[in-house]
Amino acid sequence: MKKSIDPRINRLELPANEDGKEVLDELEQWETYEVFHQKKRGDQHVHVGIVHAASAEMALLLAKEQYARRRQTSNLWVVKTRDVTATSYDDSDIFETTPEKTYREASDYYCMDRIRKYQQEHGIKDRKEDRRKKKESA
């Protein structure tokens, strides 16, 4: 007999597959869609999760309640999970950067001291600095 964590499925007493494995047949579960949420028009769509659905239209419908019910939303996208091409976790070493190459990261550029010097020389106010001072005095 097929076993499920859902007692209602178990009550149906579905026969096991021929190979004896207790798994649900393909398509007994609807496929999944990845859901992307956009807060405000113009913002990026951000991946928020998945829904099971029989069609893209239904996926949007269900995504609205799962992912847009309790937050500001202007737009949703859904994409079939199987249409997503992903890197392999086995290849995750491609994202590593060798320590000697930190100059390739933006954090390794020191230019603020030169910018401040230029601003002082030309009498340009540093607005960021002003705001920081204002905040401190408040």
Partner 1 sequence: MQYNETELKAVKEFLYKIADDQLIIGHRNSEWTGLGPLVEEDIAFSSIAQDKIGQAQHIYEILHTLGEADADTIAFTRNAADFKSCHLVEYPIGEYDFSLMRNFLFNHAEKIRFEMLADTSLEQLAKLAKKYRGEIKYHTMHSDTWITQLGRANEESHARMQTALNETFNLALGIFEESEFAGNLKELNIFEGESALQNRWLEAITPLLEKASLVIPERSAWQPVYGGRKGYHTEYLEPMLEEMGEVFRLDPKAEW
Rule CB under 8 A: which residues touch partner 1? 8, 30, 51-55, 57-58, 61-62, 64-66, 69
126 vs 14: CA distance, rounded Å = 72
Query: Shortest distance, CB of residue 14 to partner 1, whole angstroms?
Result: 16
Query: Shortest distance, CB of residue 51 to partner 1, whole angstroms?
Result: 5
Query: Shortest distance, CB of residue 26 to partner 1, whole angstroms?
Result: 15
Classify residue 120 by burial, with Cβ atoms within 10 Å: 0-12, 13-18, 19+: exposed
Q: Closest CB to partner 1 among 69 and 101?
A: 69
35 vs 59: CA distance, rounded Å = 8
